[in-house]
């Protein structure tokens, strides 16, 4: 039985739920298969995913989405602004290109992800896990400026996405990041899976920082799998390949109370389902996506509408 509607939350999905992490990779499903299956699973909105995976010509992308009844909500971009130097200039160049496409399709959100300090595949430490005070300042100033440019030039809002094995992953680091960034130009994309993976409490973050929550990624983590990840020191890619991310009925956080908290913020929020499974086993994404879409609609979420 469907629960009461969560009037402020709008549901969508992303290429990530089809095992897509890169613009081009032979292990990934073709972009047209992702779009076909996202619509078939019951979604009406999608993210762009890594820039270059879906078509980047505005008219082609608009046509491909429209004939499947899909709407674009936003896109993602990697950053490494704590490094200073040319990092901000590089991010501005890359994000301007993505933001121009978003603006052309009236998609208002660019989700920025920090660079991991470990190798995605091997888990090798690439740089110190802790930032210096100067690096925190550089990180905060960089994202504040990036968000200002995106808004002023394209009308696109920056949503910062904490990430496992990055310098902004745990609750204390998320709080510090919010303290060093401008709330007018940097909001938080609450990724429920990455917060849980790093040992955080999603509901506590929402309660402490209600005005900073601007977007959500819905992802569930297997608690037993996470225990194994920590015990064996797995890389993030190995964790995913060993099933650390699961369907919402089998993982954490407990979604219904968290969804209620997000809805109670009283502002429109896009909630994008992500189910990391790179590389996705053949045929696996569609049935998982279908069940997951049904789960969230049963719990009161509705499709994305502008």
Per-residue pLDDT, 98? 98
Per-residue pLDDT, 303? 81
Per-residue pLDDT, 228? 97
The correct CATH number of 9-303 out of 3.30.1540.10, 3.90.380.10, 3.20.20.150, 3.40.1160.10 is: 3.20.20.150
Find all residues with CB under 8 Å of 236, minimum gap 6, and list them: 116, 118, 120, 123, 164, 165
d(CA 47, CA 253): 22
Closest-CA residue to 109 (of 255, 306, 277, 278): 306
Per-residue pLDDT, 170? 97
Per-residue pLDDT, 1? 43
Closest-CA residue to 173 (of 142, 207, 139): 139
Per-residue pLDDT of the chain (306 residues; tens, 9 = 90+): 446 789 999 999 999 999 999 999 999 999 999 999 999 999 999 999 999 999 999 999 999 999 999 999 999 999 999 999 999 999 999 999 999 999 999 999 999 999 999 999 999 999 999 999 999 999 999 999 999 999 999 999 999 999 999 999 999 999 999 999 999 999 999 999 999 999 999 999 999 999 999 999 999 999 999 999 999 999 999 999 999 999 999 999 999 999 999 999 999 999 999 999 999 999 999 999 999 999 999 999 988 655
Q: What is the DSSP string of 93-133?
A: HHHHHHHHHHHHTT--EEEEEEPBSB-TTT--B-S-SS--H
d(CA 276, CA 53): 16
Cβ contact 182:144 at 8 Å: yes
**Per-domain residue ranges of the chain:** 9-303
Per-residue pLDDT, 3? 60
Cβ contact 41:49 at 8 Å: no
């Amino acid at each position: 039985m469907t629960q009461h509607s969560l009037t402020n939350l709008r549901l969508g999905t992303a290429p990530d739920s089809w095992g897509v992490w890169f613009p081009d990779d032979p292990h990934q499903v073709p972009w047209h298969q992702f779009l076909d299956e996202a619509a078939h699973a019951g979604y009406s909105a999608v993210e762009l995913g890594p820039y270059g995976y879906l078509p980047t010509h505005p008219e082609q992308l608009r046509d491909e989405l429209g004939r499947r009844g899909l709407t674009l909500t936003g896109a993602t971009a990697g950053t490494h602004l704590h490094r200073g130097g040319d990092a901000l200039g590089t991010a501005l160049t890359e994000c301007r290109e993505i933001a121009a496409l978003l603006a052309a399709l009236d998609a208002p959100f660019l989700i920025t992800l920090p660079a991991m300090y470990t190798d995605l595949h091997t888990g090798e430490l690439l740089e110190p896990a802790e930032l210096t005070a100067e690096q925190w300042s550089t990180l905060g100033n960089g994202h504040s400026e990036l968000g200002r440019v995106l808004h002023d030039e394209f009308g696109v809002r920056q949503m910062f996405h904490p990430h496992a094995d990055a310098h902004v992953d745990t609750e204390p680091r998320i709080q510090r990041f919010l303290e060093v960034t401008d709330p007018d130009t940097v909001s938080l994309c609450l990724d429920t899976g990455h917060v849980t993976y790093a040992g955080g409490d999603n509901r506590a973050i929402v309660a402490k920082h209600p005005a900073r929550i601007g977007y959500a990624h819905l992802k569930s983590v297997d608690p037993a799998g996470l225990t194994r990840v920590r015990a064996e020191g797995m890389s993030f890619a190995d964790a995913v390949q060993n099933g650390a991310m699961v369907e919402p009925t089998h993982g954490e956080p407990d979604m219904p109370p968290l969804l209620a908290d997000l809805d109670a913020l009283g502002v429109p929020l896009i909630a994008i389902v992500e189910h990391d499974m790179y590389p996705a086993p053949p045929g696996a994404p569609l049935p998982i996506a279908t069940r997951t879409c049904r789960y969230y609609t049963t719990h009161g979420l509705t499709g994305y509408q502008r």
